[in-house]
Structure 1
Amino acid sequence: MESHDRLCRRLALLAGTAVLAVDYRLAPEHPAPAAVDDVMRALEWVASRPKELGQLLPGTGLAGDSAGGLIAYLAACGLAGTPALPDVLFLAYPNADLSLSLQSVSEKGEGWGLSVQDLAFYIAQWVPDASLLGKFSPVEVARAQPLPVRTLLATAGHDPLRDEGKLLAEELARGGTDVEYRPHPDLVHGFLTLDAVSPAARHAGDSLLAAYGSLLSHTAMLRRDRNAPPDAPNGAT
């Protein structure tokens, strides 16, 4: 997790939350759904309240950026209806349409830090059978399966994945998901890890990480209120 160590530290600080970084299996040795299965197992372990994690506040979130956003979304869908379903989902510029068919792919596919040729190569390693691309595309999954998880979704304007992230937010809202969509028209793909070189990226990332923490805190508060014992009637002890 060297690529995201700094981001995980910022997340812990700015969101005010404990962070568990999952080192999931990678393609091509482990194609889909191996990474999704790994994240699901990790969330099931957290939901079991293992002693290794110490005292945990109510409420669990799941966050991922780029391909990690894709994996996080599919893992949440796989856990729907179980105690391990996260309370909050944070998706940053997710790879949401594995067909790479939307306009931003052609508009921003070269020269902005993320090459569409590289994207196509990565997708082919993760889903070698092209007939299964829809099964692992969040925009397609969202149309068939509503997800009752509060979702914070961010996109970048100069990103080939921009339009599919926006489309995923729209599909989630259409299905009844409480989704907060935050576009960043002047930023590029991967801006959450560019905080050390771009003040604009740092400001946007700080705002998103703090917003994610606020959603988690609000969820924890609601859970505590629901689990609190009712007030005793007058005269009762």
Structure 2
Amino acid sequence: MTPTPDLLSPAARVLCDAMAAHFPDPAQAPLTVASMRAASSAGTAPGEKPPGPELAEVRELLPGGPEDVPVRMRLYQPEPQSAGAAGGRPLLLFLHGGGFVICDLDTHDRTARELAHRSGATVLSVDYRLAPEHPFPAATQDARAALAWALRHAEELGCAPSRVFVGGDSAGGNLAAGAALGLATAEDGHGGVALAGQLLIYPCVEQRFLGASAELFGEGYFMTLDHLRWFTEQYLGPAATDLAALGPLASPGLAPDLSGMPPTLLVVADCDILRDQTLAYARRLAAAGVPVEVQLHPGTFHGFLGVLDHLPAADTALTGAAMWLRHRAERL
């Protein structure tokens, strides 16, 4: 049941409905991987998307060797290497959203460009393996391998190893938080390496959808509860019905100890199924002594950065995230 009165801003309601109209609806027909991927590739925002800001360099990377999961990454350099700040620029390893099933480097190219341009950080966007062809924990493994690679090669990219951030939106936020957790708990063999921070944009930090926000915004707000359950089933497979799947590897927000996590920014859409789990994660981080900031955007819905050119709140959110990255890096 959707709340009355509508909690979206008038502009966000128009855009939310326009996006939903071009996205497969599980209430109308069973979802398929092919239809969902076709919709994400076509784009759900109204009108043509501008390509985003020009950067000094954008190129493809394919890490190789026995230490690496061979996932493609795209490098975004905001300025020539020689123009970087003393000691090296910040580096953001970015993991795109899409429920672990859809989206890729191209669907999130604009977001990566904008983050690099507005923050001054080099951005590495990761093309991790998708479910159901590559179910859990493939994406988590790729995220951790990509972060380890970024830490090892930061200086080669003109960046400072002490200024490495990890981030992502939605499912990518889950993977980013999981990769940061792996470092914090030394699960990946890189214990002692400190990240500069994690930037999580309306993240899915748990594979369960609880709280008032799941009831209030489960339908009528673009990404529905049925969508999220379908994504979870594709990603976790049979484990989707197993409580063991809700452990930290799949649900980093449920880790028993968050004390070693890096400083965190949580960008939250107020009218989002995932709002309450994100705010609960923020409270747990704060209780563990982790510096945490929440930027809550009233009247917005899950995925609202996808309408950057049409919704002022999306521009505000992206600028806020970029400024947080810039200011955190300047302290290091």
TM-score, normalised on structure 1? 0.85
* 1:135-182: CA deviation from partner (whole Å, max 9, x where unpaired): 1223211x3343330111111111111111111101111112111112
When residues 67 and 146 of structure 1 are mapped into structure 2, their CA distance, relative to the original with a 3 A threshold, is same
Partner of 2:324: 211
Partner of 1:5: 109
Q: Which residue of the other structure, out of 131, 156, 159, is the alignment partner of 1:56?
A: 159
Quote the Cα distance in structure 1 between the aligned partners of 2:138 and 2:226.
23
- The equivalences for 1:163-174 within 5 A come to 163-174=276-287
Partner of 1:147: 260
Q: Which residue of the other structure, out of 127, 132, 143, is the alignment partner of 1:23?
A: 127
Q: Does 1:183 align with 2:296?
A: yes
- How far has the Cα of 1:84 moved from its partner? 5.0
CA RMSD, 1 decimal: 1.7
Unaligned stretches of 5+ in structure 1? 220-237
Q: Which residue of the other structure, out of 88, 103, 106, is the alignment partner of 2:215?
A: 106
Q: Is the 8 A contact 2:267 2:317 kept in 1?
A: no
Structure 1 counterpart of 2:195, one-letter code = P
TM-score, normalised on structure 2? 0.62
Q: Is the 8 A contact 1:157 1:185 kept in 2?
A: yes
Quote the Cα distance in structure 1 between the aligned partners of 2:134 and 2:194.
24
Q: Does 1:197 align with 2:310?
A: yes
* 1:30-77: CA deviation from partner (whole Å, max 9, x where unpaired): 1122111111111111222267x4322341001111010011001111
When residues 176 and 92 of structure 1 are mapped into structure 2, their CA distance, relative to the original with a 3 A threshold, is same
Q: Does 1:134 align with 2:246?
A: yes
Unaligned stretches of 5+ in structure 2? 1-104
Partner of 2:149: 45
Q: Does 1:118 align with 2:227?
A: yes
Quote the Cα distance in structure 2 between the aligned partners of 1:205 and 1:56.
22
Greater fraction strand: 2
Quote the Cα distance in structure 1 between the aligned partners of 2:135 and 2:170.
17
Q: Which residue of the other structure, out of 75, 81, 96, is the alignment partner of 2:205?
A: 96
- How far has the Cα of 1:85 moved from its partner? 4.6
Matched position secondary structure for 2:325: helix
The count of residues paired between Structure 1 and Structure 2 equals 217
When residues 59 and 83 of structure 1 are mapped into structure 2, their CA distance, relative to the original with a 3 A threshold, is farther
Structure 1 counterpart of 2:309, one-letter code = A
When residues 134 and 103 of structure 1 are mapped into structure 2, their CA distance, relative to the original with a 3 A threshold, is same
Quote the Cα distance in structure 2 between the aligned partners of 1:161 and 1:120.
12
- How far has the Cα of 1:133 moved from its partner? 3.1
Partner of 1:234: none
Matched position secondary structure for 1:62: strand
Q: Is the 8 A contact 2:260 2:290 kept in 1?
A: yes
Choose between structure 1 and 2 for higher RCO, CA contacts under 8 A separated by at least 6 residues.
1
Q: Is the 8 A contact 1:127 1:133 kept in 2?
A: yes
- The equivalences for 1:61-72 within 5 A come to 61-72=165-176
Q: Is the 8 A contact 2:163 2:196 kept in 1?
A: yes
* 1:98-141: CA deviation from partner (whole Å, max 9, x where unpaired): 12122211100111111110100101111121223321223211
- How far has the Cα of 1:211 moved from its partner? 1.5
- How far has the Cα of 1:201 moved from its partner? 1.5
